[in-house]
Chain A
Amino acid sequence: MERNAQHAFDAEEVMAYLDGELEARRATELAAHLVSCSECQEVAQGFRVLSERTLSFEVERPPAEMSETVLAALDSRETSRKEVSNSSNRRESWRWRPLIARPYLWAFASLAIVALIFFASIPNLFRAREAAELASRRASGYKSWLDKAGTAVTRSGSNVYQSSTETSETGTVAPESASPAPPVAGDELKAPETVGPMIAQTASLSIVATNYDEASAAIERLAAAHGGYVEKLTAKAQTGSARGLSAALRIPAKQLDGFLADLRKLGHVEEESRENEEVSAQYVDLQARLKSARATEQRLIELLGTRTGKLSEVLDAERELARIRGEIESMQGQNAILVHRVTYATVQVELGEEYRERLGTTSKGTKIWNALVEGLGNLEDGAVAALIFLLAYGPSILFWFAVLMLPAWLIWRRPRRPAQT
């Protein structure tokens, strides 16, 4: 039955001819050819037999109920408009069924939702991680602080403890440091040596200690030994990195050199700086203003005591006296701070742990285990974040997905309607 080179007609054309689908001219030629060609006659006969056999696949007559249902639908459509709307509902369901049955639509929908959740939860994931890190840093930082430098907190309750997230202040005295226990006093605070320049000293020291625990405890002990105190202490102990301690200490100016020498013994000094600020001019100026204010105050008091005058004048004088008094107090406060800065040098200490050694001693197994634990932690965070996101935004996503997919589906569907053919 394959195309035969000797033949002007192939089997397919014979088939088309028998189906009445061959173009007229060709059909006429083939008809003429068939009369004489036994081979083509055989081919044609083969097709006829095949068709007959195919048609032997018969089916039973349709059940009578089918006619009744259809004709009933026809009648109800004719008589009542309501039924039409009913059947149009029916049509809707008929049109919707394929949508639900299309697996790739579902696959696409799930993929879209997953992608959306993924992209939307990335910031959440990071947030969750950050929060977890912060919490662990806080917890461990506080714990190590209690463990190592611990008792000091209870000893000097007025000292400020802060978590590592806050930046430690350096240099000059913070206003609240004027209030703590140590040696602020007296009405007439004067510089210890009134001769010579007044200098506010600031030192900054960065130390890496081999024995961190010992060193951190020693800092406070040394400060106390030299007559100083801890103004602020921040301990950090992040998992996976070196522990660190940052302290702001106030040490009597005279003791500063000795204290720094002791500090240097705690470990390897990585960085050291000293700054001397000349505050004599400020001090002298302040003293002069204070003196003149006091004189004015004295004169006003005398004036009020000896002179009599109008009530308004007396009131004016008293008001003036109150103002001067306020000024004097403010200047006395500034004076106290200035003197304190000179008397007590500020020492900023950064104590670090020599971490490389520790890293070296960590076995590979431990590292892998740590990574695994961290990985699982991240997975859990991610899953929780995704779940929370899903619960929070899932309904909206589904709603918008439905709203957006419906027109797309209608557009996609339209050209496939059989009605158009």
Chain B
Amino acid sequence: MNTDEQLVLEFQQGSRGAFAELFERYREPVYGFFRRRLENPGRAEELAQECFLALLQNVKRYEPRASFRSYLYGIAIHLVSAERRKAGHEIAENEKLDNRATEENAGESRDAGIWVRHALKHLRKDEREILMLREYEQLSYEEIAGLMRLPVNTVRSRLFRARMALKNQLMPVKD
């Protein structure tokens, strides 16, 4: 099986199939990336699309120095932060509503996913992002460091703090 980087090179040389393969590999992770970070599923879908379209247009600029994953998630992070800046106020309002809904439902459904989502919101922004990139996108410390422009050691210590904080948040559920 070809690696992501090989597929990108093939696509750069004009292989349609290579891109289709890459898209198939990352369709769900990328959608999940936006879905976990945005409340609105429709918007998450649009941004996931936009992410792949941006990849299509900028693929010539990709150089195999960095992993394809971090390149792709770099675009995704950029899109999410742009989206948050654009509609900062709107999103904050939505999140408030969502919080209330979450709390109401939590007692009944006991759905662990909802608790995690809720707990994540209580983490510090930068720590939460590192934790999510590690847990959901499965990026290495080095890849996260590259994306966040931080030293690897800082990534490790922040990830540790984030996990401790998340554990504290989830503790009441656990016991």
Do residues A15 and B112 form an inter-chain contact, with CB atoms below 8 A?
A: no
Question: Contacts A15-B159, A15-B163, A77-B56 known; A66 to B49 CB distance under 8 Å?
Answer: yes
Interface size on A, residues (CB 8 A): 47
Do residues B56 and A50 form an inter-chain contact, with CB atoms below 8 A?
A: no
Do residues B160 and A21 form an inter-chain contact, with CB atoms below 8 A?
A: no
Do residues A59 and B36 form an inter-chain contact, with CB atoms below 8 A?
A: yes
Residue among A46, A54, A66, A94 with most chain B CB within 10 A: A54
Q: Specify which chain B residues have a CB less than 8 angstroms from the CB of A16 in the assembled complex.
A: 141, 156
Q: Specify which chain A residues have a CB less than 8 angstroms from the CB of B54 in the assembled complex.
A: 91, 94
Do residues B112 and A56 form an inter-chain contact, with CB atoms below 8 A?
A: yes
Q: Specify which chain A residues have a CB less than 8 angstroms from the CB of B75 in the assembled complex.
A: 418-419
A1 within 8 A of B: yes
Q: Specify which chain B residues have a CB less than 8 angstroms from the CB of A54 in the assembled complex.
A: 116, 131, 135-136, 166
Q: Specify which chain A residues have a CB less than 8 angstroms from the CB of B113 in the assembled complex.
A: 56-58
Question: Contacts A419-B74, A421-B146 known; A98 to B56 CB distance under 8 Å?
Answer: no
CB distance from A364 to the nearest CB of B (A): 51
B92 within 8 A of A: no
CB distance from A417 to the nearest CB of B (A): 8
Which residues of B106-142 have CB atoms within 8 Å of chain A's CB atoms? 112-113, 116-117, 120, 131, 134-136, 140-141
Do residues A62 and B160 form an inter-chain contact, with CB atoms below 8 A?
A: no
A65 within 8 A of B: yes
Q: Can you sample 5 A-B contacts with CB below 8 Å? A: A1-B164, A21-B141, A59-B35, A98-B82, A418-B71
Do residues A74 and B20 form an inter-chain contact, with CB atoms below 8 A?
A: yes
Do residues B27 and A421 form an inter-chain contact, with CB atoms below 8 A?
A: no
A101 partner, pick from B50, B57, B82, B147, beta carbons under 8 A: B82
A63 within 8 A of B: yes
Q: Specify which chain B residues have a CB less than 8 angstroms from the CB of A101 in the assembled complex.
A: 82, 85-86
Q: Specify which chain A residues have a CB less than 8 angstroms from the CB of B50 in the assembled complex.
A: 94
In the complex, which residue of chain A has the Cβ closest to the Cβ of B134?
A19
A88 within 8 A of B: yes
Name B's interface SS. helix
Which residues of B48-104 have CB atoms within 8 Å of chain A's CB atoms? 48-50, 52-54, 56-58, 61-62, 66, 70-71, 74-75, 77-78, 82, 85-86
Q: Specify which chain B residues have a CB less than 8 angstroms from the CB of A391 in the assembled complex.
A: none
- Tell me, in angstroms, the Cα distance from A58 to B116 when the chains sit together: 10
Q: Specify which chain B residues have a CB less than 8 angstroms from the CB of A78 in the assembled complex.
A: 16
A165 within 8 A of B: no
Do residues B45 and A63 form an inter-chain contact, with CB atoms below 8 A?
A: yes
CB distance from B173 to the nearest CB of A (A): 8
1/0 per residue, CB under 8 A from A, across B147-164: the answer is 100000000110110011
- Tell me, in angstroms, the Cα distance from A19 to B152 when the chains sit together: 13
Do residues B49 and A12 form an inter-chain contact, with CB atoms below 8 A?
A: no
- Tell me, in angstroms, the Cα distance from A87 to B57 when the chains sit together: 8
Question: Contacts A66-B31, A98-B82, A101-B85 known; A73 to B56 CB distance under 8 Å?
Answer: yes
B10 within 8 A of A: no
Which residues of A38-96 have CB atoms within 8 Å of chain B's CB atoms? 46-47, 49-51, 53-63, 65-67, 69-71, 73-75, 77-78, 87-88, 90-91, 94
- Tell me, in angstroms, the Cα distance from A310 to B68 when the chains sit together: 121
- Tell me, in angstroms, the Cα distance from A23 to B70 when the chains sit together: 21
**12 additional contacts (CB under 8 A) given A53-B116, A73-B53, A419-B75:** A50-B166, A54-B135, A54-B136, A62-B27, A66-B27, A70-B52, A87-B56, A90-B53, A94-B54, A98-B85, A418-B147, A419-B71
- Tell me, in angstroms, the Cα distance from A195 to B8 when the chains sit together: 122
CB distance from A36 to the nearest CB of B (A): 23
Do residues A59 and B31 form an inter-chain contact, with CB atoms below 8 A?
A: yes
A102 within 8 A of B: yes
